[in-house]
Amino acid sequence: MLKTLQQAMATDRDYPARTARVQWLGGVLDGSMYECLPYEFHEETEPSGAYIPLAERRPSVRYNLCRVIVNDSVSMLFSEGHFPTPQADDEETAHALVKVIADSKLNEVMVDAATRGSVGSVAILMRVLGNRAFFSALPTAYLSPAWRPDAPDVLESVTEQYKVKGAALAAQGYDVVALYKAGVTVKQPPGRGVKVDVLADAMAADFWFRRVWDAGAENWYLPWPVLSDKPVEPAIDTERTVKHGLGFVPMVWVRNLPGGDDADGACTFEAAISTQVEIEYQLSQAGRGLKYSSDPLLMIKEPPTGNGNLIKGANALVVSKDGDAKLLEISGSAAGAVVEYARALRSFALEVVGGNRADADKLATAQSGRAMELMNYALISLADRLRASYGEGALLDLLYMVVKASQKFPLTDKHGRPIPKMNPAAEVTLNWPRWYAPTAVDRQNDATTLKTLRDSNLISQETAIANVADDYDIEDVAEEVARIEGDQDKAMQRLADMTPDDSREDGHGHMPVPKGDGGGE
């Protein structure tokens, strides 16, 4: 069935082979992979009476297991409670990066990027507009990366090229007639009063659109006809080209998981696609059987009566002694068997790809964070591998880009407030929170452990606070330390104000001995 779907999907041979693969996986992810099939599931016969095979019908039940796998893994990666906190050896740089992340909504962008990139790859573009940093996730079906020969992990350029109709170009302000004539020879047919409608041909024609990002600019090219009969050398569109002058390609190319090639990593859900198709068709068939069981088919064996007419009583059909009538029914127990089969298939698929197999109905009580980690070890293992690609790889590279861009542009937030200056020599790292939010018991155990370590002078107060910063939503550890010291100073001052003068320490740091104590005399 999977091969049938892939063969039914229309492919354009003008594109690289990876384009068709990425588009196919994208269709699985968004649920559009069945749109290439011509019939709905309830259409069992053609108007001529010919039977329509199941392979040509779209299932009526959609259970996008692959999307469930992606959503679960991405939620463990970049949800609100799992997004990492940037840290740097320069406190002002770390504080500035936190502000940029919040202002640009980078959390949402990374969720979008990890979802799109589950097919194998995704590109994240950074732009600085009006002294503000913006990020966007780009699908890579029509993108091609080029790497520096002396640094294979550094982008030299990224090329975007795809087909677009002339009418769409005209809506963007292009002179499509001039672009069409530049690549196609227009011949007037012989005969009086006959003229070629060049505008209509240009509007309906396919054009190549190209855009290239490099270390100096975002280069736009003038579109040219796909079916050109003249040699066409793509020319730079100087009006739309933007020179950023950053000195690096403002884009991060993310390969999803280890494996694949230079452009694409391994897909998150590819191993579960065939199982998803099987589940959807089985459930569709089960639904079809339930509809038949609620509307059974009547079969009558001739002759029903002597004169050929049916006689219907209150709750019965009256036939002759030679006639017969039966209701063809389907047992409803078959639907239950299909559902159990679908559940088993789902469990097998999640086991293969590392999805979440926990059943909320079987959790009688709240579990500790550690217990949840053990129960969902496979999902955490998958999210941990994704951290290497989207966190330590993509997100960290984006933050370094922000630091570099801040040296060229005075960054501000959307309210016009300046972002603190960043040190280009600062070393930036990511502090990831726990996989699961700690329970009250977990927090009590942490507090006891940290207090013991702190009292034994094995860790500093700042390290102890950093350890629980994510659990208590502490954005700036140094500022929290200053607040604690301020609270301690205030407490000491209140204690001093409440202590009588004669019981305070003397000038040498010794407490005076009260009179009448005896002192051993």
Token output for 56: 């040509």
> 468: burial class by Cβ within 10 Å (0-12, 13-18, 19+)?
middle
DSSP string computed for 265-330: ---SSGGGHHHHHHHHHHHHHHHHHHHHHHSPEEEEESPSSTTS--EE-SS-EE--TT-EEEEE--
Tell whether the torsion through CA atoms of 330, 335, 336 and 342 is positive or negative. Answer: positive
Q: For residue 518, what pLDDT is reported? A: 46
pLDDT at residue 41, rounded to an integer: 87
| Coil, strand or helix at 88 | strand
pLDDT at site 517: 47
Q: What radius of gyration, in Å, describes the C-alpha atoms of the chain?
A: 35
Kindly state the helix (H) or strand (E) to which residue 176 belongs, with its residue range. Answer: helix 176-183
- Give the pLDDT of residue 193: 57
Helices 91-104 and 106-116, axial angle in degrees (round to 10): 70
Instruction: Please give the average pLDDT of every successive group of 10 residues along the chain, which has 521 residues.
Output: 75 89 92 88 86 88 90 89 89 93 94 95 95 95 94 94 95 92 78 70 93 95 90 90 93 92 91 89 81 64 56 54 62 70 78 65 57 78 92 94 93 92 93 81 84 88 83 78 84 79 52 49 38
Q: How many Å apart are CA 17 and CA 23, to the nearest integer?
A: 10
DSSP, residue by residue, 412-448: B-TTSPBPPP--TTPPEEEE---SS---HHHHHHHHH
CA distances from 295 to 52, 191, 301, 318, 330 (A): 21, 67, 19, 20, 10
Q: Which residues of 339-356 are buried (b: 16+ CB within 10 A; e: fewer)?
A: eeebeebbeebbeebbbb
In angstroms, the Cα distances linking 454 to 110, 446, 459, 462 are: 36, 12, 5, 10
At residue 321, the pLDDT reads: 60
Query: Angle at the Cα of 254 (from 140 to 349), degrees rounded to 5?
Result: 85
Phi and psi (nearest 5°) for 39? Answer: -120, 150
Inter-CA distances, 379 with 87, 260, 357, 375, 384, Å: 26, 21, 8, 9, 8
- Residue the block writes with tokens 């010919």: 50
Where on the phi/psi map is residue 413: left (φ > 0), alpha (ψ -120 to 50), or beta?
beta
Contact 61, 284 (CB under 8 A): yes
Element (H, E) at 15: none
What is residue 462's predicted lDDT score, i.e. its pLDDT? 85
CA angle (152, 153, 154) in 5-degree steps: 95
Please answer whether residues 196 and 182 qualify as being in contact, where contact means their C-beta atoms are separated by less than 8 angstroms.
no
Taking only the tens place, the pLDDT of each residue in 61-95 is: 888 899 999 999 999 899 888 899 999 988 899 99
Q: How far apart are CA 228 and CA 224, in angstroms?
A: 8
* pLDDT at res. 519: 45
